[in-house]
Amino acid sequence: MPSNALNNPSMPRPEAVRRVKSYSAATGYVYQYYFYEVEKTRRGNTPGTEYVYMVSVDRHHVFPVRIFVQHEALEDWSARTGQKLTGTEEYAVAKMRLFQAFDEIEKLDAKTPELVVDSSNLETLLSQLDILTDEPGQH
């Protein structure tokens, strides 16, 4: 065996352990979901971060739900408030958008909704998280 060869080159990387959570939606469905991945990406010319959750309604069929957080909305909010969201807070905003979709869209598994966090809904999602959204100097 060559000295620079790996001991077990074909050994697969172990899968990450994922915590499956439940959400009882206003639509009457009980969803099971887990966070799958996050990726910096673009939708058209718009840069952002995409959060992907794997979701199930029946515990048998799992489907991805993607939430696109627009960077421009975060930058505008940051410029207006003088604050910058942490990565954890951005993740929380995406998760709140997921819950909003669970509550508003019936038969989510039969649709592929475009879930976006943008300037039209960012303030509402942040307020649900009790993240300060006051303008600078208005405390």
pLDDT band for position 123 (50/70/90)?
A: very high
> Would you kindly state where each structural domain of the chain is located, as residue ranges?
21-128
Which pLDDT score, from 0 to 100, does residue 3 have? Answer: 54
Other beta carbons within 10 angstroms of residue 33's beta carbon come to 21
Q: Whole-model pTM? A: 0.82
Residue 131: per-residue pLDDT: 83
Nearest-5° Cα angle at 92, 97 to 116: 30
Determine the Cα–Cα distance for residues 110 and 78; give it in Å rounded to an integer: 36
Distance CA 139, CA 98 (A): 30
